[in-house]
Amino acid sequence: MTSMTSTLWTASHQFSGRTARAVAALGGIPIQQPADYEHFVDNKKPEFLSKFPHGKVPAFEQPDGFKLFEGTAIIRYVAGLNPNVGLLGKNPREAALIDQWMHLSELEVDANTHLSFLLLNGSITPYNKSIHNTFIERQRRALRTLNDHLSTRTFFVGERITLADIYIASQICRAATITFDAAARTEFYHLIRHLETIINQPQLKDVFQSIKFVEEALQYVPPPKEKELNPVPPKAEKKRKDKEAEKEEKFDVSPEPKAKNALDDLPKSPFNLEDWKRQYSNRDTRGPGGSLEWFYNNFDPQGFSLWRVDFKYNEELTQIFMSSNQIGGFFNRLEASRKYLFGSVGVLGVTNNCAVTGALILRGLDVRSVVEVAPDWESYSYKKLDISNEEDRAFFEAALAWDLEIDGKKWADGKNFK
């Protein structure tokens, strides 16, 4: 057992970080969390990236310089620092059983919790009830297996707490904030009994104290429909009218004025966004006579602006096609700003190590006035690009040409908003 105090970087909402803290507490392993750590800020700084090049949390470092990232690797390592506690099992068979139950929970319970959450907020694809039901059914099948196993025992492996118990309890806590509602807790009562046994261990109460349980599983809420600008009035009962009265009524009926967007009040610009979209679609992007050449000859920096857009939660991305679908969902929710916006956004990297980024051309100089029509616009960060700056210009051109590469991550897939 080590007496050195290690450092764990994690975010308050991160269940893998909470699991690592629980394992350390139960094993008597001293760890500290940087009090001033700011997620999505500090983990992008050079000093953090020099230690953890992927920039993900949780991240772990011991005083002698040994470093780890990825939650499961950290959890397993910390669990082995005090072998007397037995969190990894007493023999190879117990160790294998611990892995068995951890992986079942991770792949069938926690993965479907996460996928359900992403589907509900439109991050992977426009909402689809059939897909949502599939996620829930797969999760419930695994919950039933876990619950049945616990019907005749207190812990998952052996007669004492192991890493499997802490790992699964933490993932059930996460599910209980999204899918594992009151009805499920009644059905899978052995899991709830197990959960309460684990989180009420004296060493773990402080770690799990802030868990909140939903009464009903989160459900999809469609965006409110825009109020019809020119509603068709109900047909009035026909009455006999003389011709003069009918004529007078016809002249009195006038359509309601359409709601006006503030962007329409901007001074007229010589740059025509629709012309640009046609040029981009019909020409090669780079090279003589390409769409970029046309763009630079016609762009109006007083009437339009260029922006870099980055997804804030790249560490949550997994499959390339799912990340690409997320871009498509974001673009769908930007539909109301189609006449003011062009976008070229892509997925860079490979499965389980990718990022979403790209470039926007938009009317006016304020990005918010164009993108806030999308409910999830704040899930992205925006940086204004200056094409007189060589680095900004290179990023902009590469995003439009779909050959952008950042930190070794190459363009894998992309979508245009036009």
pLDDT for position 236 = 54
pLDDT, mean of residues 210-238: 69
Q: Write down the H helix ranges in 28-176.
A: 46-49, 71-79, 92-104, 111-120, 129-150, 163-175
Query: Is the model's pLDDT at 250 over the cut of 60?
Result: no
pLDDT for position 249 = 45
Q: Are 50 and 225 contacting, i.e. CB atoms less than 8 angstroms apart?
A: no
Give the model's confidence band at 7: pLDDT under 50 very low, under 70 low, under 90 confident, else very high. very high
Average of per-residue pLDDT values in the chain: 89
pLDDT for position 229 = 52
Q: Which of 71-80, 142-151, 228-237 has the lowest mean pLDDT?
A: 228-237
Give the model's confidence band at 332: pLDDT under 50 very low, under 70 low, under 90 confident, else very high. confident
pLDDT for position 125 = 82
pLDDT for position 3 = 66
Of 26, 22, 198, the closest CA to residue 8 belongs to 22
Residues 363-382 have pLDDT tens digits of 999 999 999 988 888 889 99
Q: Which of 1-10, 90-99, 251-260, 330-339 has the lowest mean pLDDT?
A: 251-260
pLDDT for position 2 = 58
pLDDT for position 235 = 56
* 380 vs 312: CA distance, rounded Å: 5
3-state SS, 82-118, equals CHHHCCCCCCHHHHHHHHHHHHHHHHHHHHHHHHHHH
pLDDT, mean of residues 318-340: 88
| Cα dihedral 328, 378, 395, 286 sign | positive
pLDDT for position 121 = 85
Determine what percent of the chain is predicted with pLDDT higher than 90: 70
| CA angle (398 as vertex; 397, 403 as ends), nearest 5 | 150
pLDDT for position 233 = 60
Determine what percent of the chain is predicted with pLDDT higher than 70: 90
Q: Are 103 and 83 contacting, i.e. CB atoms less than 8 angstroms apart?
A: no
Phi, psi of 241 (to 5 degrees): -135, 150
Q: Which amino acid belongs to residue 265?
A: D
Does 87 or 330 have the greater pLDDT score?
87
**Lookup: tokens for 30:** 């001293």
pLDDT for position 349 = 94
pTM: 0.56
Structure letter (DSSP) for residue 416: E
Q: Are 373 and 333 contacting, i.e. CB atoms less than 8 angstroms apart?
A: yes
* 375 vs 313: CA distance, rounded Å: 16
Residues 283-314 have pLDDT tens digits of 899 999 999 999 999 999 999 999 999 999 89
